[in-house]
A and B are shown apart, each in its own frame.
Chain A
Amino acid sequence: MAYTLNKDNMLVWKDRPFVRGLVKVKVPPEDWKKIMTTWKYIDVEWKPQTAWLTDYKLLKSRRAEERKLLLEILRDKARERGGLDVLAE
């Protein structure tokens, strides 16, 4: 996975308004180049598998405190596993 939280390094697509789901796109070479040269790359290999989810609760809205708590939980988990702390960046 590759990513950036630096706004200057994000790709800016003016002709791509919000849509739900996934849209198939063609990425210009210059954008790939920008990704490769300015984004962080994490080589995570996950074993392909199929998951079945049940008892799923989709929350329509989330309070700021809940978000903060969730971020802390995920950050602690990442630290325990020696992973990246995105929030610290």
Chain B
Amino acid sequence: MGQVPSVGEVYLNFVGKRTYGPPLFLQEALELGFNRAVGNRPVPLNSYVLFAVWDKKESHVYALGKVTGYSFLATEQEIKNAFAMLAQLEKQLQQNPDPQAKQDLQKMAQLLAKLYDALLGAQTGKSGDLIERGCGEYIEIILDYDPKDFYELMVLFMRYFGKLPSITLSGATLWPTLSTRTTC
């Protein structure tokens, strides 16, 4: 085994035992990579995630993964909604100008526009694949978008809106992944 992962952050994530116990989770994660809901918490690249099951008495930790990318569920409308949130913030800033906030707003707009372009590019390039996963099925499109930009966008959104936009967290899903691809 490699070095002790002393650098970087470590997170704990519970895997539902009833429908998604350790063997199924591992079989799927090893084949397709893991993908977990993170809630309203931006998780940095290169963080570690420990996976556990809870048996109503104690937690049993059985796997460790490394975050190397992100995936999310979204529609074009949700991305447009995020733009609308930025416009709303811009209105507020006009009344109470803050240089740092204006700079952040500009950065968010840039990152979001870049994300939208990446999405359109992927759609027109027909790069989607249908992938069967443990929690259902979905079409996954790999975007030409730097995960570091994605993380920065998440952090800025959290700072100004107190939550992640639905483009990055819809239902259960902005997932840090071992593989970058992936589930529930």
Contacts and interface: CB of A to CB of B under 8 A. Distances in A.
Most buried by B among A22, A41, A48: A22
A67 B21 CA distance: 10
Contacts of B39: 20-22
Contacts of B65: 1
B180 A47 contact: yes
Most buried by B among A13, A26, A36, A53: A53
A61 B19 contact: yes
B50 A27 contact: yes
Interface in A42-65: 42-44, 46-59, 61-62
B134 A70 contact: yes
Contact of A57 (B54, B70, B136): B136
Contact of B27 (A32, A41, A74): A74
A36 B161 CA distance: 40
A58 B180 contact: no
B138 A54 contact: yes
Task: Decide if the interface of chain B is mainly helix, strand, loop or mixed.
Answer: mixed
A25 B58 contact: no
B41 A21 contact: yes
Given A24-B10, A86-B30, A62 B19 contact: yes
A65 B94 CA distance: 58
A42 to B, nearest CB: 7
Contacts of B179: 44, 46
Contact of A51 (B4, B27, B140): B140
Closest 5 CB pairs of A and B: A21-B39, A51-B71, A18-B54, A56-B138, A11-B61
Interface of A: 1-5, 7, 10-14, 16-27, 29, 31-33, 35-37, 39, 41-44, 46-59, 61-62, 67, 70-71, 73-75, 77-78, 81, 83-87
Interface of B: 1-2, 4-5, 9-14, 19, 22-24, 26-34, 36-41, 43, 45, 49-50, 52, 54, 57-66, 68-75, 118-119, 122, 128, 132, 134-143, 145-147, 150, 171-173, 176-182, 184
Given A18-B54, A59-B136, 7 more contacts: A11-B61, A22-B41, A23-B11, A50-B71, A50-B118, A56-B138, A57-B137
